[in-house]
A = this chain, B = another copy of it.
Amino acid sequence: MARYLVSRSEMHQFIERCMKAVGTNSSHAMALADVLVEGDYRGHYSHGLNRLDVYLKDMKSGICAKDGEPVVEKSTVATALVNGNNLMGPVVGNFCMDLAIQKAKEVGIGWVSAYGSNHYGIAGFYSMQALKSGFIGMSCTNTSPLVVATRAKEGTLGTNPISVAAPALDGDSFVLDMATSAVALGKIEVQQRRNEEVPEGWGCDSNGKATTNPTLILTGGGLVPLGGSEATSGYKGYGLSMLVEVFCGMLTGSNYSKNIRRWKETDKVANLGQSFCAINPGCFAPDFEKRLSDLLNIHRTLEPSDPSLPVLIPGDPEALHKAECDHHGAIPYHVNVVDHMNSVAKELGVDLLPTNRTIDP
């Protein structure tokens, strides 16, 4: 099926006008557009335009704050606890990451954690802010319970993503941005729509048993942690998911684990917890960027097991997607997503997304 081509600026403006139409503070709408467009541009379509609906619903229902600013509740030269005041995730995330970077400039490291936040898009958006200062950035968030702990039957942990970005030479970088589950929910949904099985190690049924049936995973079952079954060390992914919860729910006093509202539930405040850290490599050994470039190049030039599949480093798949978009001068979107959002835009009474340019898949 053909895909629509929409430029980044067209998409940015569209998201802004939709959000403003439901009463969102103008700079907050812009912050959200920045994050969602970056998600799509990097190829993480599940965290871009695809999510706009959720943000709009939260605004329309009034369950998320339309205006205000995050507030620092407690701080040292190197740390801060922030009340996100129930603002959109990107507003809270930018505030916290900026503060972490500022502290890293002063004392080499800054760690800022927030409660009262909401979905913040791709975790990598925040970690990558640190690259602009030549710093290492880290960001993680807790999320709605979807992941079943090793040996359990019931989902008690979110996909709890973590991202770390580090600067190499000439604008190159390492950008790890991963859910701590084996795969994201969206991957299971895609297989269900295609009526195809999923690989062993993606999910379990309502009895906690491994299954390759996407419908069993999505109805009563759940995602499994990175590593899959206990035999293949799924307990490590489970531990990483809980680690993110320690940095998010535990440090901040936000909701956590089963207490977080279910995915797509919008009648309760999310009150998510998030942590952000920046580290100045200049406070450690000289030539950090040079060494990192060497490490990346060691891996990119490895002989691949399958000659058609080059060895990549974290961030390369996203860079390849960005290059594809740049080639088109626009981001390719699934027709259904754009059509759906245009129907939403119509209801909101704002200008639609252009649908005059298409590309074959």
Contact = CB atoms under 8 A, between A and B. Distances in A.
A314 interface: yes
B182 A74 contact: no
Contacts of A333: none
Given A108-B111, A305-B208, A291 B151 contact: no
Interface of A: 74-79, 81, 107-109, 111, 113, 115, 136, 149-154, 156, 164, 166, 174, 176, 178, 182-183, 199-202, 204, 207-209, 226-228, 231-233, 235-240, 242-243, 245-246, 249-253, 256-258, 279-281, 283-288, 291-292, 295, 298-299, 302-306, 309-314
A152 B302 CA distance: 6
Nearest to A199: B231
Given A151-B305, A151-B306, A284-B113, A239 B314 contact: yes
Contacts of A227: 182, 226-228, 237
A251 B79 contact: no
List the number of copies, as a whole number: 2
A348 to B, nearest CB: 37
A81 B298 contact: no
Contacts of A250: 166, 281, 288, 291-292, 295
Nearest to A154: B302
Contacts of A200: 232
B237 A149 contact: no
Contacts of A152: 299, 302-305, 311
